[in-house]
Structure 1
Amino acid sequence: MSLPRIAIDAMGGDEGVRVMVSGAALARHRHENFRFLLVGDQDRIKRALDDHPGLASASEILHCEDVVGGDEKPTQALRRAKTTSMGLAINAVKAGDAGAAVSAGNTGALMAMSKLALRTMPGIDRPALAALLPTLEEHDVIMLDLGANTECDARNLVQFAIMGAAYSRIVEGSGAPRVRLLNIGTEEIKGTDQVQEAAVMLRAARGLAMAFDGFVEADQINRGNVDVVVSDGFSGNIALKAIEGSARFVTDLLKNAFRSSLRSKFGFLVSRPATELLRHHLDPNNHNGAVFLGLNGVVVKSHGSANEKGVANAVAVAARLVEAKLTERIASDLAELGEANLRQAAKAAHKDAT
């Protein structure tokens, strides 16, 4: 059975058409049921498709020459939502012409356009940006929000937890994902009022398909003992950049060490299988594809510097979420929780605070 086709913003990202089309072709090679709507300059897309006849037969081109700039403000980009490749890819989801949209373009513009076109799901106040991060265990950890909302109240954090748990059940297959709030300590007295209140609400809520497990500190995110890490977008983005920077620091440090002497170069040859495994584990392309959760549709953000393997992974994420009916799962979880239950949990949080 063919999946609903995926709209690709072919003009986004550092290298644009070449990498986006090559990534879609690789995704199609891995999954023959994938179909695509390639949005962008048709001449450039057709030239790129010459190298990928298998993709060409499974794709339609929507011509568009206007592109959202990498440093363009979201408010400026919104004015051209109906003329840019990014905006048209998102609108294809809204119109039902595609099941999901993938873009490697400007994150702020993608968020603004997605929210305007698709709107926020009933029961969700704000959408959140979620991504998969590697851990020491076999499973990945989902972290949200990673920058869509710099300030969040307790209700927002509870909703993020619900959405993150639904996402985790799809990609990791866990019946009750272990969910924790990012905090400066694991003790119950630590953290801001918003984090404290969210913790009380999650403990008091009933009917949630998750195992809320208190707080987690940033140095434990990748240890493998948590499935979903929830935070406001400001803290989450800083934590993510610190993790990415640390990974690059370790790999660069190893490169410098192995180049320092003839003995070190010999040591590199001996340890190459282990270093290759480390490089593969830390390669961001293997975990590419952040998702805007809480919208009435699936939109996936590919890293701007992703190679074709990274783009293919982002496409696979989009297809999997469409196939698993992510938005329906989140809606079902919200209905199970219920507004009355959420209000009761909020009252418990305020009572606990006083």
Structure 2
Amino acid sequence: MTSTPPPYDSFLLVSFGGPEGPEDVMPFLENVLRGKNVPRQRMLEVAEHYGHFGGVSPINQHNRELMAAIESEFKSSGIDLPVYWGNRNWDPLFPDTLRQMRDDGCKRALAFFTSMFSSYSGCRQYRENIIAAQEEVGEGAPMVEKLRMGFNHPRFIETMAQSVRQSLDSINVEAADATVLFTAHSIPIGMADHCDYLLQLQESSRLVAESLGVKSWKLVFQSRSGPPQQPWLEPDVLDSIAEMDDASKLSSLVIVPIGFVSDHMEVMFDLDEEAAQLCQERGIKMARAATAGTSPSFVGMIRELVEERLGRVEGRPALGDLGPWHDVCPADCCTYTPARRPAPAT
């Protein structure tokens, strides 16, 4: 006989974390890459990227702003759930957040992951992290249940379409005449083969492009970090720009980081610096679309997903052919066994 779970009494914002000063960069990257088969040289390259921005990632401040926006949205909608925030790789870490939630009397939380697309690193690993944190906290640790992926939610598509439209306007290009590259973080092929990351990204990109009347668009990838011999999702954004320009001279280009909720370091370095420099060298007028951030439509989507689970609304809106994603992940959802570094000789 199963017991009835307690009612939802809290909300958890689940994210990646990032350094907030030069002294944080290497410890943060060591947290991120611990045990992973990523060359140390790549870690040093990424550390240098952070150096371009004073050793500060924008992600933590973004999450503070997103928390404040969610709290305001909840208050105006009559949703009485305190908002907490926990990270995988930097303060506030999951065990500390769950311990605080327990001490505050929270029993059962709804969680929104700041990754809009299903993969091991963007979903299952977070669920594993939360389970490990619950075990560390021990008795009384709150239950945590994730909200469904919103990659095809009308409000997310609206958010990104508005962003692309603003970018088109900034370079005086009509949607029908535009060339648009949608970008997302590359992942290993072995991970992609066991999740719906690529399928969801293609669907989101298509929905945004079609809503605006963009005919020339492509999904590309960025920020790969694995060893050269390991296949990752392609094509790379920089390679794509060069190949498209070589084949048919590009006069303008809009780049849309649809795979990122906020301006992560990867967005700022790979797109705002590297892609922008390449476009400048080739005489391509480039605009980089804004990430979802704290736009009212995006925050409204989070609120609607919560209302679904609270039973306050009927229906589960989703655009396109894939329909609304599952609330509860199947047991084998996004399974992946990452390649690990060999143990040091003893």
How does the TM-score come out when normalised to structure 2? 0.31
Kindly indicate which of the two structures has a greater share of residues assigned to helix: 1
